[in-house]
Structure formats: C-alpha cells, structure tokens
Amino acid sequence: MTFNELGLIPEILKALSEEGYSTPTPIQEQAIPIVAEGIDLLGCAQTGTGKTAAFAIPILQQLSDRHDERRHRHIKVLVLTPTRELAIQIEESFKAYGRHLPLKSAVIFGGVSQVPQVEALRKGIDILIATPGRLLDLIQQRHVSLRDIGIFVLDEADRMLDMGFIHDVKRVVALLPTKRQTLFFSATMPPEIQKLANTILHDPEKVEVTPVSSTAETVSQSVYMVEKADKRHLLEWVLKDPKIDRVLVFTRTKHGADRVAKGLKRADISAEAIHGDKSQNARQRALSSFKEGSIRVLVATDIAARGIDVEELAYVINYDIPEVAETYVHRIGRSGRAGASGTAFSFCMTEERPYWAAIEKLIRIKIPVIGGHPYVEPVHTLPQKPAEQGRNPSQNQGNSNGGRRKFNQQRRGGGNGGKKGDFRSKE
C-alpha cells in the first residue's frame, strides 16, 4: 500500500514525499480513508504508530476541498491534546503535511505568555491545536470561539484522564457544535474513557493497531545493565564479536541514530543511520548496502525500521529501551524471521528500568542480565566496603566494573581528550 493508493491530493503527496514517508503505517492505512469520508473514528493506538499523520493528513485533505480563499478564516478543526510537547509536535505535523496548502494553524498551551498565542488567533486560523486548560482560558476571554468547529480530535484520551484533565475536556466538548466529525484516540480503553467515547462519538468506525504481546520464540534475548555514558563503549565492545556480522541497532531518536552511527564509524566499524530526516535516496542507499553486507551496522529509529526486510538478520540491538513495551516485540521480531534463530541484546540504563520492567511484564519473560562485561552498571555490583576493596568476588570473575571501570574511565578520558564532559552531556 502506498500513499498514492489512499486517494490523497498531489499537494499532500508531495509534502509526504518531502518528509521521506514512503508507505503508510497500519493506523494510517486504516484511518485515512475513514477520516477523509467524514466518518467518526475511535482509534486505539499509541504515540509512535504514526497516529498524528493518520488524522492530520485526511483532515488537511478535507479542509483543502472546502477551502475558499475569499472567506474570512475561522477555526474549523480543534485538536485537543494533554501536553505542550504533543501540542507542538501535532502542529508541526499539520504544518509539514500541509506545507503546499493555503491553510493556517496555531498551537496554544499553558505555562507561557498568552500574548503571541492570542495574536496568532487574531490573524485567523483554520486549525487549532490546544491543551485543555489554556483553551478554556482563552475561550472565556473570548479570544477563541468553537462555533465553527467541524472536526474535533481528542488525542490521548486516557492520558487526559491520568493527568486530571477529563473535566476540562468535557467542558470543551460541551461548547462544540453537535454537528461535527469526531476523532477519538486513546492507547488504552479504561471504562471511563469508553464511556466518554460513547457519549461524544456518533456511529464511529473503530481502528486498532493490535498490540503484540508474544515474543518471537526463536529469538534469544538478553540485557546489559549499563550507564548512559557507557552505552557507546558497550556497543563497540559487543561488536568485537566477529559472529555479529550484520546487526540492526535501534535508537529512540533520529539524533541518537546519527550519533551512534558516527561513533561506530569513528571506531572503524562500518555503519549507517536511517531515519525520517534522511532523504528517501539516502535511506535506500543505506539499506541496500546493509542488505549486500557492505555495511555491518544499520542504526534505525522505529518508524524508519518498518519495512526493513532483511533476510537472515540474526542480530538486533536495542541501544535505547523503547518506552512502549510493544515496540520491543516489534523490534526483536526483526531477527529470527522464518524460523531462523535470532539474538536480541538490549542496553538498559537506570532511567530506562521502568520501561524494561514493563517489557518483561508484557512478554512474561525474565530476560537474563549479562554480567560479564566491562561496563556493568554500578547498582549491579556488590557493595564494596573500603576494607574489602580488591576482594570483591565478582571482580575476580570479571563481572564487576570495580577495577575495570577505572581502566575504562582512564581509557575514555584519554580517548576523548577534554571532550569527555561534552559527550556525556550530549548522550
């Protein structure tokens, strides 16, 4: 399935190709035709599945059909989302996918001055992305009117509930025209959220991105507990094993992917990064080199890695632990395909422990922790009383970082010159 097959207008197709999107994600494939038809939608999907584009693209398409340059702009679309970060990201998405369309958007959220937000509203916009509290404030001050809203998106409804915003959401809903299209997104469906969905949706179509909860049984899994700043060294250390001739390394962010690939190249390990900021050509090139075996490591973000189909990919490394447990299952499912045996290593730092616990809970497996490496996280070593220093039994087995850490730090300090502090803060 391609975006072309979803019947999108050329302006949007052009923007998507500039964004480097080649194929729709499952939620996009399912939701775009429904939303473009004006039908209400109940979407069960998490962040990271491409759900923003799943609603933003068909909304832009609908607005462009109806847009009349001569008429005064009024707010036709309201997207309500729980956090400032999400609000900003959503507006960026509307701007990106709608960059060849004559539509305007604005974002409003609390905790900052309302002046520039009011100014943006005053100039006239088509799409408003808002957090509930600031929206209600600005409605009360008559800077915003919801009278002309034709499409309402409630994003991350379950998080609204968790964050105590549900009453504000209900107040906003009460101010919306009853004749409208409503799109309701939630990662989970607790009873209160289901009840809210029932009251605000009209005859909705349901779209669900099925959570996966069983790990590919052929994949052998293990985890390294490691400090943040040591992850890069651990990766090089793991890659000393010549058996690992081709490996897919996952990072959470695009910058992370670039950084890891750069670090590996510096260590003379052939690597390329692929993610959404790279051109389609660059990604294709990297993928072909990886498939041919001319590069050993492909570093990818989750979305970029979708669609990577490499036969006999035996190794996957989770350089970052995914925040969404299901993502882990998708990632390690890249190895061990078609009955081939795969190996998945994960690098888990202290801050990622809660995500790791959620993963183990989801797959109902206690994944073995690898102790015998030079970068063992301190919490995993036996406490050393001063009098016992040097007699730590685990040190003798070589699975403590006690003596070795010192060596590594010296080595790192030397290797990085005065920049050690820099790379730590950037990692």
- Provide the binding-site residues for ligand AMP, judged by CB under 6 A: 21, 24-25, 28, 47-53, 276, 303
- Return the structure tokens found at 258: 């670039």
CB of 291 to ligand AMP, least distance (A): 19
323 exposure class (CB count in 10 Å sphere: 0-12, 13-18, 19+)? middle
Q: Which is nearer to ligand AMP, 25 or 215 (CB)?
A: 25
Distances (CA, A) of 199 to 41, 100, 203, 225, 400: 13, 36, 11, 46, 57
Closest Cα partner for 216 from 385, 338, 77, 35? 338
- Return the structure tokens found at 165: 């915003």
- Cα–Cα distance, 110 to 116 (Å, whole number): 12
Q: Which is nearer to ligand AMP, 323 or 427 (CB)?
A: 323
- Return the structure tokens found at 103: 């539509």
Give 150's contacts (C-beta < 8 A, 6+ positions apart): 76, 77, 177, 180, 181
Q: Which is nearer to ligand AMP, 85 or 312 (CB)?
A: 85
Q: Which is nearer to ligand AMP, 28 or 131 (CB)?
A: 28
Q: Which is nearer to ligand AMP, 3 or 345 (CB)?
A: 3
Q: What are the beta bridge partners of residue 108?
A: 130
Q: Which is nearer to ligand AMP, 28 or 395 (CB)?
A: 28
CB of 202 to ligand AMP, least distance (A): 24
CB of 94 to ligand AMP, least distance (A): 12
Q: Which is nearer to ligand AMP, 53 or 160 (CB)?
A: 53
CB of 52 to ligand AMP, least distance (A): 3
Q: Output the DSSP codes for 331-349.
A: HHTTSSGGG--EEEEEEE-
CB of 25 to ligand AMP, least distance (A): 5
CB of 62 to ligand AMP, least distance (A): 19
Closest Cα partner for 50 from 22, 27, 81, 76? 27
CB 275 within 8 A of CB 250: no
Half-sphere exposure (Cβ direction) of 53: Cα atoms closer than 13 Å: 23
Cα maximum dimension of the chain: 83
CB 315 within 8 A of CB 342: yes
Q: Which is nearer to ligand AMP, 24 or 256 (CB)?
A: 24
Q: Which is nearer to ligand AMP, 186 or 399 (CB)?
A: 186
CB of 158 to ligand AMP, least distance (A): 15
CB of 174 to ligand AMP, least distance (A): 28
CB of 19 to ligand AMP, least distance (A): 7
- Cα–Cα distance, 54 to 112 (Å, whole number): 29
CB of 299 to ligand AMP, least distance (A): 16
CB 43 within 8 A of CB 154: no
Amino acid, res. 89: Q
In the numeric block, the tokens 């504000």 are attached to 168
Q: Which is nearer to ligand AMP, 221 or 251 (CB)?
A: 251
- Cα–Cα distance, 286 to 299 (Å, whole number): 10
- Cα–Cα distance, 306 to 22 (Å, whole number): 11
